[in-house]
């Protein structure tokens, strides 16, 4: 795709746009673009305020087999739903990568141990915390973002009086 995603997209108001190759509404913009790779067409779904598309996929040719099929309400609504699902899954995956927890049994009580990674570009780190059965934090340390949380590493941290395991 060689076209710029931001050109020709109205940015100054929230009024819906419903053109054959450009639709805007519900917080999204759908733009049909030329796919230079295979001489076909593609559609890019861009969430308002985002610089890059959340979804780019092939688009159907029109009856003349030369131009793209025009966008319509049904297609736009389906594209919005699909793009929103892509973003939701991406957010879930990112959350799962950055936030981990395990519960271990120690001295007659369950202790939940959490690891929250802070993905700083220059100095990433993680916060390792222990939470008792009442939801009270009993310890927290800053540690390496590469720390691997497991029941064994959690137990070792607890038994080492919550000292930084790094």
Cβ partners under 8 Å of residue 89, min gap 6: none
Predicted confidence at residue 13, as pLDDT, reads: 56
Which residue did the predictor score with more confidence, 12 or 159?
Answer: 159
Over residues 42-99, the pLDDT tens digits come to 999 999 999 999 999 999 988 888 889 999 999 999 999 999 999 999 999 999 999 9
The pTM of this model reads: 0.66
Mean pLDDT of 138-147: 96
Q: Domain-by-domain residue ranges, the chain?
A: 17-71, 98-159
Predicted confidence band at 138 (pLDDT cuts at 50, 70, 90)? Answer: very high
Residue 3, pLDDT > 60, answer no
Q: How confident is the model at residue 147 (pLDDT cuts 50, 70, 90)?
A: very high
Nearest to 133 by CA among 105, 99, 154, 158: 105
23 close to 71: Cβ distance less than 8 angstroms: yes
Element holding 155 (H helix, E strand): helix 151-159
Mean predicted confidence (pLDDT) in 1-17: 55
CA-CA distances (angstroms) from residue 15 to 28, 30, 70, 88, 142? 12, 14, 19, 25, 47
pLDDT at residue 9 above 60? no
């Amino acid at each position: 795709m060689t076209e710029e995603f931001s050109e020709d997209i109205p940015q100054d108001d929230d009024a819906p746009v419903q053109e054959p190759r450009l639709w805007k509404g519900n917080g999204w913009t759908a733009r049909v673009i030329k796919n230079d790779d295979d001489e076909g067409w593609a559609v890019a779904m861009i969430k308002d305020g985002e610089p890059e598309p959340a979804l780019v996929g092939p688009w159907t040719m029109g009856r003349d087999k030369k131009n793209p099929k025009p966008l319509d309400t049904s297609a736009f609504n389906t594209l919005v739903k699909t793009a929103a699902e892509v973003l939701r899954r991406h957010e879930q995956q990112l959350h799962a990568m950055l936030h981990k927890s395990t519960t271990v049994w120690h001295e007659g009580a369950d202790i939940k141990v959490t690891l929250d990674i802070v993905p700083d570009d220059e100095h990433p780190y993680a916060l390792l915390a222990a939470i008792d059965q009442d939801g009270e934090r009993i310890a927290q340390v800053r540690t390496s973002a590469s720390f691997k949380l497991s029941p064994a590493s959690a137990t070792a941290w607890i038994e080492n009086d919550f000292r930084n395991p790094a």
